[in-house]
Amino acid sequence: MDVFGAIADPIRRELLLRLADGPARVVDLAAEHAVSRPAISKHLRVLSEAGLVRGTDEGRERRYALDPAPLAEVRELLGALTARRAPVSAANLDALGTEVRRAARDRRRGTSASGTTANAKEQSA
């Protein structure tokens, strides 16, 4: 199973979010969800096959921990998708607002962008 298929299920995403807080036993993970313990084990097996979690045996119990390394593929895709359209920063919006106000003020005063008035242009012509 690839990473994208593994994170497609909402329960598996919830498990990953929980494991981001630290390792947990299967029984604890099952107690946090409205599905059976065997169902949680199946979800953990899918996540394990995708390399997103690793299980370790501690006595009779198995603990699972998040392994975020395979998420690099997801980060790369999201980065490529968001890089295609650069967001407009607040500073750019502020600068645009300033230019719009300046242009409106200049229009009201009859001043061109070079600072000369329309009447002065007509008189020099």
pLDDT of residue 24: 95
pLDDT of residue 80: 86
Going across the sheet that includes 53-58, the strands are 24-25, 61-66, 53-58
pLDDT of residue 119: 53
* CA–CA separation, 30 and 64 (whole Å): 12
pLDDT digit of tens for each residue in the chain (125 aa)? Answer: 689 999 999 999 999 999 999 999 999 999 999 899 999 999 999 999 999 999 999 888 899 999 999 999 999 998 888 777 666 788 888 888 899 899 888 888 886 555 555 555 555 55
Question: How many Å separate Cα 31 from the centre of its chain?
Answer: 29
H-run or E-run covering 63: strand 61-66
pLDDT of residue 66: 96
pLDDT of residue 53: 97
